[in-house]
Chain A
């Protein structure tokens, strides 16, 4: 399959990149690895007039640790994140999630964390060739008014299958979005619209510059299921964070449970997370209850559009959450 025609530019400073975005905005797309973008372009799902490659923008590849946060440049390769001691120590969930993305070669040569967070939502009725999508009505995400994944649905039910975003939401990360002459920081939990067509609350002129992970002295874990051990998107996944109570070390002071690959965005489960507060780190019953709650909440969003059966994926939400909680609780970080 052929790529549609486009102009290509590779700015070597952030300033130049932001100038280009300011000028071309809607017509441009950021190329940060290409494993998601180029495949969609080949399928004719989008045809940006300009690609702004971050290949030469070395300034956005870094992992810095200061007193209360780890800062990761959005262009940092997945391999660098996996190899990072600070990430392994303070953000185990992210380290594990990055190990699951693509395959070793993709992690080394192509995949970036920013690219993983900003990969478009997926649906096996949408991520198809122009031929496949012909001879039937267009779906919501394809400019039409129908959803093949959920009958009668008035909106797009595409699924966010980013591993990185789930881990980062569990870690309560913040995203730094830059545009010409402006910069804003947003909690990743607030970064998502509820629209499967345009899932990110981000302006076309904005660039994801940095990911900030607060250092909380907490344990985190990430669990996912897929069909094979590499080159596979998750069909269900969970990221969790457990922080000990400042007073009582064996008690959970704060919990964050996030479920992924089940909805238009990663789902932060506020109620199930809050219910773990005050529970013991060894309270497996509480973990199971949280898992079941997560399953019930997530199931209402999920549709059959990324493989496996819907029933199986829903059932596995509980299992992934429980496993992640057990892993975090047992990680000795508490």
Chain B
């Protein structure tokens, strides 16, 4: 195995110290001269025609600098795809959910801005609203979007053929339906955005984001200004989880107010706005029909899923596909037919989320357990019989390269004591397993690749430029580790300029789990090109061929004779003195099937690598209260290569909290007529540190040949499989297969009672 100096070490993250000491600056901390406060007026009605908007009273209030409405937007519409542009940044004709943007103000301070909002007089005509996808499809009242019959926004159909034939050959078939409500991200940092136009009419924007280049393009389109005039700046970010990848109407509104006033404007969301006015995870009703042979191997599967998409398309085509894709990657499915319907309702907009489709995945795994029980097969064995193997193609024809799915199952089972515990635990104790697979990338067209540029300073330190953004997962540290490793420098010698659209090249963002694989690889390639230039210069100094050289700890030396060396700094200085460039660029473009499209052609190479994860959970259920105590958690993932086990374990643990402890036990929204009743951290039951179980992390390294140092997606497979394992463990404890998620105490108690 290759020996690395910095890759694979448990190096504390470069950004940790500033964050724990409160020194890191987030968007809400920004203060610019003459900055105004922006606030958004949102619809209090779930579905209503906008008759008129009168802003005269607001404009007359001293301290108010601008009021904007849909009339000021020139009708621009947003949608991730050309065929999903259904959202105006400020509505002109009607509001489609409680929270829809209808107007905005910029004022000298927050109190004035709030007063001005209250003075904007909007006359609405309320329309009948629908809050449930099934009701929305059957509804005969006014469509939410006139051009989408039955309120069906997206229909993804995947069919490998031979489904009915293979069902006919099956030894055992069952069909079950599973439900799960929407979920929220609760990023630690509520959304905020600062925008200003500078003296050259360039738009500068600071905001939490999942990729600066994904924000700059829609802003460039909307304001009809060239891309180089849109400068998204790097700023510390407190979480994204998929919810900050797209442009947010607030970004556009903030920039519009800045344009109108000629001043910088800041919009800070309240926690409630962050919950209802950004994105949520989809609620789902999923039916899995599965046919197996006598050994429990899946021959055919038919899955139909109805997703509540809320008021607008958002990332609809992707979100309608990913729950299915994660499962087709994890398990061989034989022949499969998938129909995913994303349905408009008058609820907040649903988008990408880290735990795509908890009900979908948990349902598929639960059904495997049901089939295993019927056939007398142990759940671990059931998974091994259906697990993805390296070298295979997925149902939608992606070649799977590195794959250590079986190893994650075996190692997790061994650590959890599965054989000693399965079927042998006392009453109301349970153990459950979940397995999942996540993509390392999507086909993203023009923004699918990343480029990096590295320049040396005369003191021998390097400045690395990369479009990769860090929204909490440690991407900046990852880039520093890679650059330091490759250049033979120490991490403190690397100065990162990243996530800034003015100074960095195009990059897909921390979207589709691709930052390390694509962005990290671009930095690695740029550094390798730098190193080749440095070695050319060093070979002349040391009078040895360049290919005999290596770099480490700020020294360039002869591999077989390390005493023969020259400080890297000296090489840089010699190069500069002799007018030789040691700066270099490098890039990485994943080889995916560019013809693959979410709706029109959902087949072909999805991405270059897939991660595989297994989580095993052991629980105790109180049979009188339905309360669950999680006794143990084993989280095991094939990450290709752990670039930093310390960071990775933190990601695993966060995944268990989000996917399992919160996602499967306590987190759900309460509603009344489209109004979210628990939009705050007090009322939406995120787990706290003291709620978390002991977690044993197991890292499996399959060394993905196409990844940087063998790395691929890390920790999302845990977030997904943790949800499945939690559901399975509770089901095992009470002897009832749960089909409604999350598994809250009331449902558990009702299931126990029903069984009696």
Contact = CB atoms under 8 A, between A and B. Distances in A.
Contacts of B110: 2
Interface stretch (B305-313, B575-583, B684-692): B684-692
Contacts of A8: none
Nearest to A309: B746
A136 B48 CA distance: 13
Interface of A: 1-2, 103, 124-125, 128-129, 131-132, 134-136, 148, 225, 227-232, 307-309, 311-312, 315-316, 319
B670 interface: yes
Nearest to B110: A2
Nearest to B111: A2
B422 to A, nearest CB: 29
A229 B688 contact: yes
B44 A136 contact: yes
Contact of A312 (B272, B672, B749): B749
A134 B98 CA distance: 10
Nearest to B687: A228
Contacts of A312: 626, 745-746, 749
Nearest to B677: A124
Contact of B45 (A135, A148, A229): A135
B694 to A, nearest CB: 15
Chain A interface helix/strand/loop/mixed = loop
Contacts of A316: 625
A132 B273 CA distance: 10
Contacts of B746: 308-309, 311-312
B682 interface: yes
A107 to B, nearest CB: 13
B672 A148 contact: yes
A319 B270 contact: no
Given A132-B272, A135-B98, A307-B683, 12 more contacts: A124-B683, A125-B672, A128-B677, A129-B272, A228-B686, A307-B670, A307-B678, A308-B745, A309-B746, A312-B745, A315-B749, A319-B625
A131 B272 contact: yes
Interface string B595-629: 00000000000000000000000000000111100
A227 B666 contact: yes
B356 interface: no
Contacts of B676: 132
Contacts of A307: 670, 678, 683, 685
A229 B690 contact: yes
Contacts of A230: 688, 690-691
Given A2-B110, A308-B744, A129 B270 contact: yes
B114 interface: yes
A225 B625 contact: yes
A171 B407 CA distance: 58
In the A-B complex, the 8 residue pairs with the smallest Cβ-Cβ separation, listed nearest first, are: A135-B44, A312-B746, A227-B685, A134-B44, A124-B677, A309-B746, A227-B666, A229-B690
A307 B685 CA distance: 10
23 contacts: A2-B110, A2-B111, A124-B677, A124-B678, A124-B683, A125-B677, A131-B44, A132-B675, A132-B679, A134-B44, A135-B43, A148-B672, A227-B666, A228-B685, A228-B686, A228-B688, A228-B691, A307-B678, A307-B683, A308-B744, A308-B745, A308-B746, A315-B749
Contact of B688 (A124, A125, A231, A308): A231
A135 B654 CA distance: 38
A111 to B, nearest CB: 14
A229 B111 CA distance: 36
B114 A319 contact: no
Nearest to B679: A132
A331 to B, nearest CB: 20
Contacts of A136: 44, 673, 675
A309 B672 CA distance: 14
A32 B672 CA distance: 33
Given A135-B45, A308-B745, A225 B114 contact: no
A27 B254 CA distance: 38
B96 interface: no
A135 B42 CA distance: 11
Contacts of B687: 228
Contacts of A131: 42, 44, 272
Nearest to A319: B624
A127 B280 CA distance: 22
Contacts of B679: 132
B268 to A, nearest CB: 10
A173 to B, nearest CB: 27
B675 A228 contact: no
A220 to B, nearest CB: 21
Contacts of B675: 132, 136
A2 to B, nearest CB: 6
Contacts of B666: 227-228
A222 to B, nearest CB: 15
A154 B678 CA distance: 25
A231 B677 contact: no
A120 to B, nearest CB: 14
Contacts of B677: 124-125, 128
Contacts of A132: 272, 675-676, 679
Contacts of B678: 124, 307
A227 B666 CA distance: 7
Contacts of B98: 135
Contacts of B272: 129, 131-132
A229 B691 contact: yes
A37 to B, nearest CB: 15
Contacts of B673: 136
Interface in B125-177: none
